[in-house]
Structures are given as C-alpha cells and as structure tokens.
Amino acid sequence: MSFEDEMRELENQLAEMERLAREVESTGGDPSDLLHSLAEGAKQAQETIERAKRAAETEAAAPLVDPDAAAT
C-alpha cells in the first residue's frame, strides 16, 4: 500500500476508536469488552503507522519520474 492508502486506513481506524470511546462513555455496565476493543484498535493503528512510515520511506527513496520526459 502507498503512504496515502495507509493514512486513509489510519483515519478509518481512528474513527472506529473514537466511536468505541463514545460507546464506553455511554455504557452504564462493565466496559471491559469495549476497552479490549479499544486496545486492539490501538495495536492495529500502531501497525498501520509502521506500514505508513515504511511506505513513505520507500516512496521517498524512489527516483522521481519526469512526466515531461520523452519516452523512447
């Protein structure tokens, strides 16, 4: 995946974690299952950040292609 794809995935994961956090706040009972889900979400987000970092490094190391260069 590209850096941009990884960042979109991270935004989706953040939105899910925010949804779960709101659910925890509104739950009157034992929120342990929701807290477990938040912890798993945080782990997945960290993995996505690492993939995005590697993708950014790979993209930065790739040679730039001049779109105006004549194809031969």
How far apart are alpha carbons 53 and 57 in whole angstroms?
Answer: 6
Query: Contact, 6 vs 48, CB < 8 A?
Result: yes
Q: Per-residue pLDDT tens for 14-69? A: 888 888 778 777 876 667 777 788 788 888 888 888 888 888 888 888 777 766 76
What pLDDT score does 56 carry? 87
What pLDDT score does 66 carry? 67
Q: Please compute, for residue 39, the number of CA atoms within 13 A of its CA located in the half-sphere on the CB side.
A: 6
Total-model pTM: 0.62
